[in-house]
Chains A and B, each alone.
Chain A
Amino acid sequence: MITTFREILFEKGLKFSTKVLARTVMMPVDDMDVKLRVPKDKHIIFIKRLRLIDNEPVLLQESYVPYHICPLLLEEDIENQLLFDLFEKKYGMKITRVENHIEIAYITSDEARIIGLSEVPGNPPEPIFLFRRDIDHVYTVN
């Protein structure tokens, strides 16, 4: 059972919205090919979304999906639909494993600008929680 950010907030009765900041295609960089288990010359869909509660930014989410898994993801409504729902209900993929990694990192100036945090000169960058979620899937026959 996978609980999503949206579901947790829905249970708490909070007003939740999403803003898509980027949805484009790129090649894997650094060790992305290893993490996604794709060859280095395969295309990847990159999605960057800002999650807001009562119009306050709370979460900056980046998703990397191998293009060959779900090319139509470039055209889907991802502001109002969950990626998990799209994968499972529309594209016949069964999520078989989810691995969550949580660490503390420092916010970059770009991220601070998007979230709306003002940098104070001389002060260290704000610490943030960094969540990484790795997902495995299989295809199901409908």
Chain B
Amino acid sequence: MITVFWITLLFIAIAVGLSLYRAVAGPGVFNRVAAVNIIGTKTIALLVVMGYYFERPYFFDIALLYAMINFIGTLVFARYLERGELWS
């Protein structure tokens, strides 16, 4: 079963690398923000599977925290790019 988790980690890392191309080379700021949001979602799944690969249950708390920070960060970025300011 540890082999299945290892292969899963490898494929999620490949998907993160594919999304990283769009974050680096994407035209415009919206493509980059969308790619960073998608990398964050993949990182949550990566952290959960990694917790079972290393057999340490502390990674799930980090995954919960990362999900919330990713969501808030994307919302703040969308609002800032739409209005040009954050608090009004």
State whether these chains interact. Answer: no
Interface residues of B (CB under 8 A from A): none
Interface residues of A (CB under 8 A from B): none
